Chain A
Amino acid sequence: MGAYSILVNGARRAVEADEDTPLLWVLRDDLDLKGAKYGCGMGLCGACTVHLDGRPTRSCVTPLSAVGDAPVTTIEAIGQVDAGQRLQAAWLALDVPQCGYCQAGQIMTAAALIRDNPQPSDKDIDVAMNGNLCRCATYTRIRRAIKKACGLPYSQDS
């Protein structure tokens, strides 16, 4: 066990945990932030995505000891930044979730995408989002919602 201090959603948090504990479990079980999800434990599905120093990061393969002073942002706070707020609104307007389990990770990855690339093409979206698995396959609406959040035209159900 070691004592750590990490910066999560703008607040400094003290954590006592084994150094190899993945950030995911620290967030979920020590800090009671349940939004990031466990799906694979190997960085293969993206359900655990958070921002570490602004970069979308797989928290399931990020040891607590590697976080250091880098700020961590989770789905619980992404609505406090413009990109996150626009994405959440678009996700609600277009009814993106089915089971909803992957959606926090989807939004976190998308938030970094549209912050860095405010007018993404279909290809840009596919490349950025390809690591985020949606088992319900809500991909059609994820694409649309990202475009809507960017003020781009998007297709409708037909």
Chain B
Amino acid sequence: MPGMSDPDRPAVAAPSRRSVLKAGAALGGGLLLGLEFFLPASARGATGAGQPAVLNLFVAIGPDGIVTITSKNPEIGQGIKTSLPMLVAEELDVAWNDVRVEDVPLDARYASQFAGGSFAMSLNWDPLRRMGAAARAMLMATAAERWGVPVASCSTAQGQVRHDPTGRTLGYGALADAASRRPVPDPATLSLKAPADYKIIGQPMAGVDNPAIVTGKPLFGIDVAVPGMLYAVFDKCPVFGGKVVSANLDEVRALPGVRHAFIIAGGTDPQGVVSGVAIVADRLWRANAARAKLKVDWDEGPYAGQNSAGFSDDETLLWAKDAERVIRRDGDVDAALAAAAHTVIDVRYAYPFLAHASLEPQNCTAHYTGGAVQIWAPTQNPGSGRAIVAKTLGIAPEKVSVRMTRCGGGFGRRLQNDYMAEAALISKLAGAPVKLVWSRADDFQHDFYRPAGFHRFSGGVDAAGKLVAWKMRFTTFRRANGDIVPWGEFVADEFPARLVPNLLADMSTIELGAPTGALRGPSSNGLAFVANGFCDELAHAAGRDPIDFALTLLGEPRVLPISPGPRGAGLFPDSPSYDTGRMRAVVAAVAERSGWRQRPKGGATGDVRTGYGFAYYWSHMGYFAEVVQVDVARAGAVTVRKVWAAADVGSTIVNPSGAYHQCQGAIIEGMGQALGLEVPIRNGRVPITNFHAYPLPRIGDTPEIDLHFLRTAHPPTGLGEPALPPVIPAIVNAIFDATGKRIRELPVKSRDLALT
């Protein structure tokens, strides 16, 4: 990720597009199946009589046949603690009821222990099935040896090996210890099941932590308790980049329960510990009560004058100048615009900063002692966390142990581990284990925001309805050193590049003090809106149906190769970056399921104006097309009535329960972004303190959602994110259909849609 450069971080720890390229190269195919996954012989077997026998890094089997499968990736609500063990269990050929899932800490042997980019399924689909298959092969070989029969005459089912000619069976529990002491099989010899034989993959499986969740058991970071633990709060400057000058520490130290109050000078990297005041008390409530009495004199630094309105003005000034950088130039866009049959010229789109607002605020428990630190944290990216903690404390990364807890939401926020570094440092300075808990205001005011963006478009369509000219100026943000802010980049292959013969994309930048980062469907969650909104404008200008316009643009089914150079969009070196045939199919499917061709003409019935909108986007290797029906009330309030989504994420939906759930959640989240969410910056700070100022969707806002997965002959890919981006422009396009009002700036403001 731009701006993240921890030398100790494994290449796979941060799911930026570029680092995942590396991850794809490192983890693709069977390359992952090295000795570390199989474990050396000394680490296999049972630890004692009656104990489970460890067959490899992922599989242990008890004498009772109960199978323990390790869950290596952070669980943030995406369901990975259920879906990855399903892969192992399927090829191991056991009953899901006999499986127990066990969390493991950060451990280099597991590789790719992060939750981001919807990559976990892509990265683990092959290796984890093979680890199940490897353990099964060892169990079969053991049984065949006991019976003195060829392995080929044996089969498995439901945790048993069967000798087919005689019908004899042996349970895995009786074989596991001996099997675990056999040589490990050659990964190349492992055979995997045909999809028709799946018994677990493809079945809806409930989350393995659900029983603990519905009974209130401690699972989350905020639930961690350590003997002797104190509670910490950390007060940072509300202006990004500000520093403590002085604070009334003596007064705070005298307050009930306060054990320590100190200033941390901090650094300038928001990924680490920045300047602030730590208060450590015997109870969290007392730490917070003391914080209410804290008075800090801040040096607000260079960004105290920044405002959202100022950024908008800056963009207008920059638009009058040449771009700072050309991103991509194909053909001759000005000539094509001049020759086009239909054009839309110089329209401006904008989207705001957004917060993650995970319901569990940032928190971390840390215990520094004797030059080493133990961390318990809700984190999406523990490897990066270890590196930043080591750097903050000036200790070696191997002195930092990280246990990942269940995360009360992630959405990209917990890819950064600033709270982890804070807790580690406060524990060291306080000389005690501490639990740091951010307030909701801290969480809103010290986020890594989805960067805002501005786009100016001109486009041209020929007489046949084909998009022939596309000109875009992107105005994004930069750091003081000139680097583009994290997730403010624009890749040269972004839609509709490679589909339009004459295209110019260029960019300019505004300096920004606020930290930025990935929010679910990063980049795509803004870019899908502007590109699909403008396509809808062009379709209407050309008198074309928006879906016909899309199908014409996509053209013949083909794979568009990744453009050469460092700024191409490739996610995986061995994956097609954009298959127009797959996209055409989901567009056709959503048209069919939504009854698009027969839909009522948009317009008013009494006081309610109804409309339908369409959009499509490829992100995180998933192909999604969506249709939305909205109602717009007389006063301008927008209600999303129904969403139809068609998706292609490959051959297999590993866990249909999780898959539907992720898509439903992403669609509702996108709806919230379209209709209400915005993080303003005022005087260098974010004025939001709580949920009243950040209107996330509530149950009454929930639309009916019709979701359809196409099954295609491609490896399965992830579903945490790709359903989100297209729903935003589909809503905006539906509002146009209903009202004739073109929304070019998010969030939609109902006052703009009111009938006067």
Distance between A146 CB and nearest chain B CB, rounded to angstroms: 10
What residues of B have a CB within 8 angstroms of the CB of A1 in the complex?
A: 256
A81 on the interface (CB 8 Å rule)? Answer: no
Contact of A138 among B218, B661, B705 (CB under 8 A): B661
Interface size class of B (residues with CB under 8 A): 35 or more
Given the interface pairs A45-B691, A135-B696, A140-B702, the reply to whether A98 lies near B286 with Cβ below 8 Å is no
Q: Is B103 in contact with chain A by the CB < 8 A criterion?
A: no
Interface status of A40 (Cβ within 8 A of chain B): yes
- Are A99 and B661 in contact, with the CB atoms below 8 A? no
Q: Is the CB of A44 within 8 A of B692?
A: yes
Q: Which residues of A contact B657 (CB under 8 A)?
A: 95, 157
A136 touches B665 (CB 8 A): yes
| Chain A hits for B4, CB < 8 A | none
Assuming the contacts A33-B216, A44-B691, A158-B706, asked whether A126 and B699 have C-beta atoms less than 8 A apart, the reply is yes
Interchain CB contact (< 8 A) of A37 among B77, B209, B359: B359
Q: How many residues of A contact B (CB 8 A)?
A: 63
The chain A residue sitting closest to B286, CB to CB, is A18
Q: Is B669 an interface residue (CB 8 A)?
A: yes
The answer, yes or no, to whether B700 is at the interface (CB within 8 Å) is: yes
What's the least CB distance linking B371 to chain A, in Å?
29
Cross-chain contact A39 with B285 (CB below 8 angstroms): no
Task: Let me know if A97 and B214 touch, CB within 8 A.
Answer: yes
A130 within 8 Å of B (CB atoms): yes
Q: Given A75-B216, A139-B702, are A29 and B664 also a contact pair (CB < 8 Å)? A: no
Q: Would B215 and A75 count as touching, CB distance under 8 A?
A: yes
Cβ-closest chain B residue relative to A74 = B216
On chain A, the residues within 8 Å of B662 by CB distance are 98
Partner of B225, one of A32, A129, A132: A32
Q: Mark B457-480, 1 if CB is under 8 A from A, else 0.
A: 000000000000000000000000
Beta-carbon contact of A139 and B699 below 8 Å: yes
Is A52 part of the binding interface, using a Cβ–Cβ cutoff of 8 Å?
no
Contact B359 A39 (CB under 8 A): yes
Who on chain A is nearest to B209 by CB? A100
B707 at interface by CB-CB < 8 Å: yes
Shortest CB distance A2–B (Å): 12
Residue A72 interfacial (CB < 8 Å): no
What's the minimum C-beta distance from B690 to chain A, rounded to whole angstroms?
5
- A8 on the interface (CB 8 Å rule)? no
The verdict on A34 contacting B696 (CB below 8 Å), with A42-B440, A95-B661, A141-B661 known, is: no
B76, CB-defined interface residue at 8 Å: yes
- Proximity string of chain B (169-193) to chain A, C-beta cutoff 8 Å, 1 when within and 0 when not: 0000000000000000000000000
**B349-383: contact bitstring with A at CB < 8 Å (1 yes, 0 no)?**
00000000111110000000000000000000000
- Cβ 8 A contact of B360, one of A44, A99, A127, A129: A99
A98 contacts which of B205, B361, B665 (Cβ < 8 Å)?
Answer: B665
List residues 20-38 of chain A with CB under 8 A from any CB of chain B.
Answer: 20-22, 25, 28-29, 32-38
CB of A143 within 8 A of CB of B702, answer yes
Cβ of A114 within 8 Å of any chain B Cβ, yes or no, is no
Whether the pair B698, A130 counts as a contact (CB closer than 8 A) is yes
CA distance A137 to B661 in the complex (A): 9
- CA–CA, A139 and B667, complex, Å: 12
B409 close to A (CB within 8 Å)? yes
B59 interface residue, CB < 8 Å from A?
Answer: no
Please indicate the chain A residues that have their CB under 8 angstroms from the CB of B690 in the complex. 40-42, 44
**B437 beta carbon closer than 8 Å to chain A:** yes
Which of A21, A74, A125, A135 has the most chain B CB atoms closer than 10 A to its own CB? A135
Q: State whether A41 touches B440 (Cβ < 8 A).
A: yes
Give the shortest distance, in Å, between A26 (CB) and chain B (any CB): 9
Most A CB contacts (10 A, CB to CB) among B285, B286, B359, B692 go to: B359
Interface residues of A, Cβ cutoff 8 Å to B: 1, 17-18, 20-22, 25, 28-29, 32-42, 44-45, 47, 74-76, 79, 87-88, 91-93, 95-104, 107, 125-127, 129-130, 132-143, 155, 157-158
A-B contact pairs, 29 of them (CB 8 A): A18-B286, A20-B285, A37-B360, A40-B691, A41-B439, A45-B359, A47-B359, A75-B215, A93-B206, A95-B204, A95-B205, A95-B207, A97-B209, A97-B210, A97-B214, A98-B79, A99-B77, A99-B407, A99-B408, A102-B408, A104-B213, A107-B214, A133-B696, A135-B411, A136-B409, A138-B661, A139-B668, A139-B701, A158-B708
Chain B residues proximal to chain A, CB less than 8 Å: 75-79, 204-207, 209-211, 213-220, 222-223, 225, 231, 256, 283-286, 289, 357-361, 406-411, 437, 439-440, 656-658, 660-662, 664-665, 668-669, 672, 690-692, 696-702, 704-708
- Minimum-distance CB pairs A-B, first 7: A35-B216, A99-B77, A101-B408, A75-B216, A137-B668, A98-B77, A100-B213
